Amino acid sequence: MKITYSPIGTIHTPFHELSGMPIQPASDLSAPGTVELLPEYLPGIKDLDGFSHIILIYHLHQSHGFKLMVTPFLDTESHGVFSTRAPLRPNPIGISVVKLLGVEHNLLRVDNLDVLDGTPLLDIKPYVPEFDSPPAVRLGWLEGVKYNLRSTRSDQRFS
Amino acid sequence: MKITYSPIGTIHTPFHELSGMPIQPASDLSAPGTVELLPEYLPGIKDLDGFSHIILIYHLHQSHGFKLMVTPFLDTESHGVFSTRAPLRPNPIGISVVKLLGVEHNLLRVDNLDVLDGTPLLDIKPYVPEFDSPPAVRLGWLEGVKYNLRSTRSDQRFS
C-alpha cells in the first residue's frame, strides 16, 4: 500500500545544513521563520490566528533512507528509531509545535523552528493542550541521560 | 512534488464507523486497542516500553477529499480546516498522543485510541513534554465555545 501526499506549502528557516541545527523547538537555538502556504489553501487557515501555538507536520526532505537503531543527539547509547525523534525514519515525517506570531495573507510568521529551510509542509493543526498534552508521563531512556536540550546542536550523524 | 509513504503497521480499535466515535484521545469514549507493527520494523521499537505515552501518526484512510472550511464537532460555526482537527484535510494525516500499556513482540497495547479500526500507521514517536508541550497558549475559536470533549461523539459530517 502506497500513500501519496502533496505539500501544502514550504517552511522557510535560517537553517541550511543538517549539522549545527537546534534539535527541537524548545531549544534556545530554534529560530523564527515563515510558513508559506500555497495560495490555493488560503481559506483553510481562517481563524488560525486565534491560536498561540500550532503543530506543523512536514516531510524531512533531506532524510534519505532509514535506520532502525540510532544513537540520538541527546544520548551516547543506541535506541530503536521509534523510541527517538531522529530523522532517519521509515516514513520521514516530522512534527513541531511552534509559536504562531502572526498571519499575513498566506504567510505564517512563527517562532521556535527547528527544521531545514525549504522543508515541505504537509499539514497544520491547532495545538490544544487538552488534546495533545496528557498529564503524567514516563520518559524511558531520556530519564537516564543528562542532556541539555536547549544548547545541544545536531551533527552529521543523520546526514 | 509527490511524497510517498508506506504504512509501518496497522491500528486495531473497536471503532468500525466514522459516526459515533470519540473525537480525541482525551475523550471518555476513547478505547484501548492494539498497534500492530510490521515485523520487519521490530528493532525500531527497542526501548519504547520505557515511555508512558507515544505519538501515533497515521493516515486517515476513510477521509476522501477535503474541505477548506469545516464545522468541527465541537462548534456550530465553520472554521478553516487547518484551524481544526477535522479529518477532511488536503493531506489526511492524523496524530494522537496515546498511553502505552505494554509491548509484546510487534504488538503495542495502547489506551485512548480515537481512530477507526484498520487505520494505517505511518510513524511512532515518543511523547516528551519538554518537546511537545509549550506552557502558554491561546486557543482561538475553542475558547469561545462551550464544549464537552469527553462526551462528544463524531457524526456523519465528514463521511
Contact B80, A46 (CB under 8 A): yes
The answer, yes or no, to whether residue B69 has pLDDT greater than 80, is yes
The answer, yes or no, to whether residue A90 has pLDDT greater than 70, is yes
CA angle B145, B91, A126 (to 5 degrees): 30
Mean pLDDT of chain A: 93
Report, as an integer, the average pLDDT of B90-116.
96
Of B69, B82, B122, the CB nearest to A124: B82
The answer, yes or no, to whether residue B79 has pLDDT greater than 80, is yes
Of the ranges A119-123, B30-34, B153-157, which one carries the lowest mean pLDDT score? B153-157
3-state secondary structure of A17: coil
Confidence of residue A126 (pLDDT cuts 50, 70, 90): very high
The reply to whether B147 touches chain A by the CB within 8 Å rule is: no
Mean pLDDT of chain B: 93
Of A90, A142, A143, the CB nearest to B8: A90
Confidence of residue A131 (pLDDT cuts 50, 70, 90): confident
In B, which residues are within 8 Å of A26 by CB distance? 130-131, 134
Look at residue B151 in the predicted model and tell me its pLDDT: 85
Cα distance between residue B120 and residue B115, in whole Å? 10
Dmax (CA) of chain A: 47
The answer, yes or no, to whether residue B144 has pLDDT greater than 90, is no
Look at residue A159 in the predicted model and tell me its pLDDT: 82
Report, as an integer, the average pLDDT of B93-108.
97
Quick check: ipTM above 0.90?
A: yes
The answer, yes or no, to whether residue A135 has pLDDT greater than 80, is no
Q: How many residues does chain A have?
A: 159
The reply to whether A102 touches chain B by the CB within 8 Å rule is: no
Going by the DSSP 8-state scheme, the letter that residue A153 receives in this structure is: B
Residues 6+ apart with CB under 8 A from B83: A44, A45, A46, A47, A48, A50, A51, A126, B140, B141
A residues 52-91 lying closer than 8 A (beta carbon) to B: 52-53, 55, 57, 59, 68-69, 79-85, 89-91
The reply to whether B99 touches chain A by the CB within 8 Å rule is: yes
Look at residue B146 in the predicted model and tell me its pLDDT: 81
Report, as an integer, the average pLDDT of B77-96.
96
Confidence of residue A136 (pLDDT cuts 50, 70, 90): low
The reply to whether B137 touches chain A by the CB within 8 Å rule is: yes
Confidence of residue B143 (pLDDT cuts 50, 70, 90): confident
Look at residue B71 in the predicted model and tell me its pLDDT: 94
The answer, yes or no, to whether residue B156 has pLDDT greater than 90, is no
pLDDT of A8-35, one tens digit each? 999 999 999 988 999 888 888 889 999 9
The answer, yes or no, to whether residue A95 has pLDDT greater than 80, is yes
Q: Which single residue is written with the C-alpha cell 494522537?
A: B96
Reference A11, options A40, A32, A33; nearest CA is A33
The answer, yes or no, to whether residue A148 has pLDDT greater than 80, is yes
C-beta atoms of B52 and A6 within 8 A: no
pLDDT of A34-63, one tens digit each? 999 999 999 999 999 999 999 999 999 999
Confidence of residue B136 (pLDDT cuts 50, 70, 90): low
Residue of chain A nearest B132, judged by CA positions? A97
Confidence of residue A110 (pLDDT cuts 50, 70, 90): very high
C-beta atoms of A128 and B122 within 8 A: no
Report, as an integer, the average pLDDT of A129-145.
85
